[in-house]
């Protein structure tokens, strides 16, 4: 489902005399349907950079990143946006809050965007908000004023609303309490059992041990170490 092949990356620091830093050299791995792969490696090894390249936020200098039939390393921006709507989900720790949109609609939006009938989308949003312990009186409010933890849980609910065939998870359990952490681990397990291919960064080692089938050590693709 996801195949990263010989992906390299160099950052050019335009504000520092155009200095360039090679941060990734020929990263290669794949993730099958129903599988969860954890990216591991020291701080600065390039885990986030690799994930951002797979999501299409950072452009890979060379190589290919196949997600389904789309090569993210070469795709047009509109194709990447279509991929993100239908195929590739991304759950980070942080919600990008849209002012004045009710929490229920924030969570249902990814489903509405792919044409799910409103009633079904809202039902799924209610179910996820309930599972993630967001109190019902808050559902009609914008999450702008919610606590950090509440915003994180709304973001997770939104990220899991659509049953994406491929998902990227960036520290999905960070700073959650035990009950909500358990819910997120169950959501990940459910996604795997319906066949989603998942790539995650988990500093939470017990969480990683539970949901990840394999680890990919990104340090192996860090140029200074590979040299």
Ligand X SMILES: Nc1ncnc2c1ncn2[C@@H]1O[C@H](COP(=O)(O)OP(=O)(O)OP(=O)(O)O)[C@@H](O)[C@H]1O
- 44 touches ligand X (CB under 6 A): yes
CA distances from 61 to 8, 70, 74, 209 (A): 6, 17, 10, 32
| Dist. CA 77–CA 55, nearest whole Å | 11
- 118, containing H or E segment: helix 118-131
Least distance in Å: CB of 28 to ligand X? 17
| Dist. CA 158–CA 219, nearest whole Å | 31
Tokens linked to 35: 């599988």
CB closer to ligand X, 40 vs 104: 40
- 45 touches ligand X (CB under 6 A): yes
- 140, containing H or E segment: none
The count of chain residues that interact with ligand X, using the rule CB under 6 A, is: 11
CB closer to ligand X, 43 vs 147: 43
Q: Indicate which single residue of 16, 43, 147, 193 sits in contact with ligand X (rule: CB under 6 A).
A: 43
CB closer to ligand X, 8 vs 11: 11
Strand partners, 90: 168
CB closer to ligand X, 110 vs 172: 172
Part of the chain binding ligand X (CB under 6 A), chosen from 43-51, 135-143, 159-167, 177-185: 43-51
Q: Indicate which single residue of 1, 4, 35, 46 sits in contact with ligand X (rule: CB under 6 A).
A: 46
- 103 touches ligand X (CB under 6 A): no
Strand partners, 77: none
CA 105 to chain centre: 20
Q: Indicate which single residue of 47, 84, 153, 158 sits in contact with ligand X (rule: CB under 6 A).
A: 47
- 92 touches ligand X (CB under 6 A): no
- 208 touches ligand X (CB under 6 A): no
CA 192 to chain centre: 14
- 200 touches ligand X (CB under 6 A): no
The structure tokens 């702008």 sit at: 144
Q: Indicate which single residue of 1, 4, 7, 23 sits in contact with ligand X (rule: CB under 6 A).
A: 23
User: Exposed e or buried b for every residue in 199-226, given b needs 16+ CB within 10 A?
Assistant: bbbbebeebbeebbeeebebbebbbeee
Least distance in Å: CB of 124 to ligand X? 31
Least distance in Å: CB of 148 to ligand X? 19
User: Exposed e or buried b for every residue in 89-104, given b needs 16+ CB within 10 A?
Assistant: bbbbbebebeeeeebb
* Interacting residues toward ligand X by CB under 6 A: 11, 21, 23, 41, 43-49
């Amino acid at each position: 489902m996801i195949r990263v092949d010989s992906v390299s990356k160099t950052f050019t620091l335009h504000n520092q005399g155009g200095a360039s830093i090679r941060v990734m050299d020929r990263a290669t791995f794949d993730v099958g349907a129903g599988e969860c792969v954890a990216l591991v490696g020291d701080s600065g090894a390039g885990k986030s950079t690799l994930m951002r390249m797979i999501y299409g936020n950072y452009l890979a200098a060379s190589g290919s990143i196949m997600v389904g039939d789309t090569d993210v390393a070469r795709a047009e921006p509109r194709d990447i946006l279509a991929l993100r709507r239908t195929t590739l989900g991304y759950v980070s720790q942080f919600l990008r809050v849209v002012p004045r949109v009710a929490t229920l609609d924030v969570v249902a939006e990814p489903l509405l965007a792919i044409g799910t009938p409103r009633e079904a989308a809202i039902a799924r949003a209610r179910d996820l908000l309930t599972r993630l312990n967001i109190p019902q009186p808050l559902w009609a409010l914008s999450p702008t004023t919610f606590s950090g933890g509440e915003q994180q849980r709304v973001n997770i609910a939104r990220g899991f609303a659509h049953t994406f065939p491929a998902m990227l998870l960036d520290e999905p359990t960070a700073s959650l309490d035990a009950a909500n952490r358990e819910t997120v681990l169950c959501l990940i397990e459910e996604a795997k059992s319906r066949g989603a291919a998942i790539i995650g960064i988990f500093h939470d080692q017990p969480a990683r041990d539970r949901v990840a089938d394999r680890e990919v050590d990104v340090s192996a693709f860090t140029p200074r170490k590979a040299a």
